[in-house]
Structure 1
Amino acid sequence: MAPKPISPNEHLVIPEWINEEYFLPILKKDVKDFDKIVNFTPIAATAPGENYTSIMVRILMDILVKDGSEKRISYILKTGLDTNKGGAMVDQMGLFPKEMEMYQTYIPQFVKLYKEAGLDIELAPKCVHYEEIKDRITLVFEDLSRQNFRNIDRLKGFDLPHISCVLRKLAELHAASAVYRTVNGPYDERYYNSLFVEENRELFTSLSESNTATFMKAVKEWDIPESERFIKEFPSDTDAFEEGIRLNKVDESEFNVLNHGDSWSNNIMFNYKANGEIDRTVFVDLQMAKWGSPAQDLWYMIVTSASLDIKVTEFDHFIQIYHNRLTECLQLLNYSKRIPTLRDLHVMMIRRGSWGIFTATGVMVATLMPSDKDSNMGNMMGEGPEAEAHRYKTYTNPYYVKAMRQLLPFFHRKGILDY
């Protein structure tokens, strides 16, 4: 008998509806000659602090097939948070309908474009089941861990071989999305909005009021030369939201793509050859896809996930790696418009540089926080003494402080703090 699996998050309350009965029709469709479930074990798929916008459950099953043999099979189920635990905010952002459409429609179409051009490209895991009922969307995926896929340690970040694979994979996703747009017309309206939309102004204002003072208090403790200058350079809450509105608008005269939108290390998985070299790279978590400048994904991924020793020193090299693969893919797919030059991309990165600031002061706070049972959407974005104390802990977390000690002077040298 296999040992009882250990859950990486004993604090996760798994909804009662995630049971054998729910999975029977999925198995009948996905497993040839399926007969019955022998053992059904749901456990958390991620540790605290690894995922903030959904419930992630790994389903481990022993099943019988019709010839009498037994198989071990597993899936990853993804569904929404409870309303009082951040689910209302996630619903307001429309993340799950977007992700369902990405897996149903766009990823298969992008893969098809490459197939028709003679190249097999892998972008995301297989989604074996999707369901939309009142107040709930559920997605069930193949469990990539059974193919020995894994994430890198988010606290260490990508070394050069890993980030090179990710940049190339981003280029493949972006190129296909740009070509698809020229052939099929605009994406649905939902892909034109990030978190920075007028409907979220009140939400961001209330969060900023409770957050800014805590953040600035922490900055003074980071021991950064000229920290007072950086504090003065930071935009006000109002200016920051207005800049977010500007970033959200798409300039159709520029080169645009369908950004992954949440391209940090936990949303990218790798498997490896016998000699340790990276073999395959895939994206997961497509909830925040956004049509617009590729600068969004590039800033987001580099800021959150490049290892500290190369985050700043190799920045220009990263853009070159991405540009080389982007050009190859656009040419392969017969992109009918002008292909951006490397210079064009560097200009985009400066013009859209605030994505770097917003990423560093937003999502990077979470991505560099060691696993903590209190790391959840409620504490990251809630109000009250407990949430404020948790945010202060994240702002003074040594991993975060070390990154910001590099990034703030870097942003200053690039001129992107100059509002």
Structure 2
Amino acid sequence: MSKEKNNTTYLAPTWLTRDYVEEKLRSYFENKCLILLNLEIKPALGNGENYASVMTRINVEYTTNSSKAKESTRFLVKTTFSDKDPAAEVLLDYGVYTREMDMYEQILPKLANLVRSELGDSRKLFAGTVNVDRSQNSIIFEDLSLEHYKVADRLKKLDMAHTHLVLEKLANFHAAGAALAERHPDIFAKNFDRGFFNQHTRGYEPIMKNLLQALSRSLELDPDLKERYQAKIDRLVENVMDYGEKATSIVPGDFLTLAHGDLWTTNVMFQYDSENHPTNAIFIDFQFSMWTSPAIDLHYFFSNTLQEHIRLKHQPELVQFYYYKLRDALKRVKYSGHVPSLFAFHQQFRSRAFYAAFASLCFEPSQAYNGKEEASMEQIISSSESAMRFKNDLYQNAETRRKMRLTLPFLDELGLLDIM
């Protein structure tokens, strides 16, 4: 779940100075004579669009030795929260910042090469990296909006055309990850075992519990839902971490690969043709990438990102669509491991289904938040007056209550609200 503080509380990193940016641009452009003339720093995301990092957009104006003319462009800078921010304390144990820097420096270039050379897909797979600075836990990326990439509306969510494109790219990503691990057996051995649920830390436990408790409070406003589901949600509060860890544990015989881990609307960018049809999708934000079942990505993506009728009515056919793309991609990269049948993969998908419950009930309401309260991880963790207003607003607004009338029966019929 990736979201940032309200723009009204945004503070630019103190180390992000003109001298710092000039040094990084000289290295990126391989031009020691580059002179940075102007630097403009501003927040890159709005309220409710990122909970696990700070995203900054920098506009730069510079000259080079080869041309006295001024040139301008822009980049994105991704940084951690300050040490005093409660979110930083939660995220540190998950190794998210080190992992994402590893992804951009070591993993993604190899995956992109595999996809391009062996899968024959020359489309961009991820944003180009300007600089990875481990001393500042920061990454500077190219700003893909300059190539007319943009994120879809997180409130309207994705239609079938966008969904098929994402699943096609995801199948290639997963196939390349499996092939890379087969060729380099230890490449994911370190720090790729800590998704939202894992065997090492339960830092997200208060977040999960506080959100489920807020959901339970909201059911007081609907007597029918209260009678049918409140006791189940209250029981889930105490079991959410156990169920989540069970759903993400490695099961012998399952097909495993590198999962994105946080695949939802604002972590996918689309490029369009002249008729506004999506032609490419790239993934961003790899903080929670992990070695696990690809079903994790499917459940999370379906639960948080798809338009309602697609999410509720079309999941089996979307699993089939993804599976055939994955199977074909694995064949092309000459993956020698076991590839399950479609029937077996559906079983694997079903066995990981609690990820749909956690994503639908805990994260989707916050990812779709469009209210006036400050949206941040601190607000979810805290019990302050403003924090309680935020959590209540997450679940008591009319749109979330409407969704829960559909989501709760859907999950309940699958047995995901019962004792597991």
TM-score by length of 2: 0.91
Structure 1: how far apart are the matches of 2:51 and 2:204?
17
Partner of 1:20: 18
Partner of 1:398: 398
Partner of 2:220: 220
Partner of 2:326: 326
Partner of 2:315: 315
What is the one-letter code of the residue matched to 1:112? N
The 1:205–1:267 alpha-carbon spacing in structure 2 relative to 1, beyond 3 Å, is: closer
Render the CA deviation track for 1:118-161: whole Å, top value 9, x for unaligned: 6135321111100112xx31100000011111001101100111
Contact 1:251 1:292 in 2 (8 A): no
Render the CA deviation track for 1:221-267: whole Å, top value 9, x for unaligned: 257x5542223334433322211221232114200111100000000
Partner of 2:7: 9
Matches within 5 A, 1:188-203: 188-201=189-202, 203=203
The 1:27–1:395 alpha-carbon spacing in structure 2 relative to 1, beyond 3 Å, is: same
User: Alpha-carbon deviation of 1:359?
Assistant: 0.6
Contact 2:261 2:297 in 1 (8 A): yes
The 1:89–1:19 alpha-carbon spacing in structure 2 relative to 1, beyond 3 Å, is: same
Partner of 2:93: 92
Name the SS of the counterpart of 2:41 in structure 1: strand
Matches within 5 A, 1:142-153: 142-153=142-153
User: Alpha-carbon deviation of 1:218?
Assistant: 0.5
User: Alpha-carbon deviation of 1:333?
Assistant: 0.5
Instruction: Work out whether 1:231 is the aligned partner of 2:227.
Output: no
Matches within 5 A, 1:89-168: 89-117=90-118, 119=120, 120-133=122-135, 136-168=136-168
Name the SS of the counterpart of 1:192 in structure 2: coil
User: Which consecutive residues of structure 1, in runs of 5 or more, have no partner in the other structure?
Assistant: 1-7
Partner of 1:242: 242
Render the CA deviation track for 1:11-70: whole Å, top value 9, x for unaligned: 311122112111112211223655312221011011121111111110001111222122
Structure 1: how far apart are the matches of 2:220 and 2:325?
41
Render the CA deviation track for 1:256-298: whole Å, top value 9, x for unaligned: 1111000000000011111212122100000000111111111
Structure 2: how far apart are the matches of 1:207 and 1:307?
25
How much identity, in percent, do the aligned residues show?
Answer: 23
Q: Decide which moves more: 52-61 or 63-72.
A: 63-72
The 1:373–1:83 alpha-carbon spacing in structure 2 relative to 1, beyond 3 Å, is: farther
Q: Decide which moves more: 137-146 or 166-175.
A: 166-175
Partner of 1:366: 366
What is the one-letter code of the residue matched to 2:392? Y
Name the SS of the counterpart of 1:87 in structure 2: helix
TM-score by length of 1: 0.91
Structure 2: how far apart are the matches of 1:371 and 1:13?
22
User: Alpha-carbon deviation of 1:182?
Assistant: 1.7
Contact 1:175 1:329 in 2 (8 A): yes
The aligned length equals 408
Partner of 2:253: 253
User: Alpha-carbon deviation of 1:206?
Assistant: 4.5
What is the one-letter code of the residue matched to 1:126? G
Partner of 1:35: 34
User: Alpha-carbon deviation of 1:180?
Assistant: 1.3
Instruction: Work out whether 1:73 is the aligned partner of 2:66.
Output: no
The 1:410–1:288 alpha-carbon spacing in structure 2 relative to 1, beyond 3 Å, is: same
Structure 2: how far apart are the matches of 1:278 and 1:184?
34
User: Alpha-carbon deviation of 1:213?
Assistant: 3.6
What is the one-letter code of the residue matched to 1:280? N
Structure 1: how far apart are the matches of 2:338 and 2:208?
40
User: Which consecutive residues of structure 2, in runs of 5 or more, have no partner in the other structure?
Assistant: 1-5
User: Alpha-carbon deviation of 1:83?
Assistant: 2.1
What is the one-letter code of the residue matched to 1:71? E
The 1:65–1:107 alpha-carbon spacing in structure 2 relative to 1, beyond 3 Å, is: same
Structure 1: how far apart are the matches of 2:201 and 2:59?
39
Instruction: Work out whether 1:58 is the aligned partner of 2:57.
Output: yes
User: Alpha-carbon deviation of 1:343?
Assistant: 1.7
Name the SS of the counterpart of 2:280 in structure 1: strand
Name the SS of the counterpart of 1:216 in structure 2: helix
Partner of 2:83: 83
Partner of 2:3: none
The 1:327–1:198 alpha-carbon spacing in structure 2 relative to 1, beyond 3 Å, is: closer
What is the one-letter code of the residue matched to 2:10? L
What is the one-letter code of the residue matched to 1:214? A
Partner of 2:382: 382
Contact 2:40 2:58 in 1 (8 A): yes
Contact 1:175 1:326 in 2 (8 A): yes
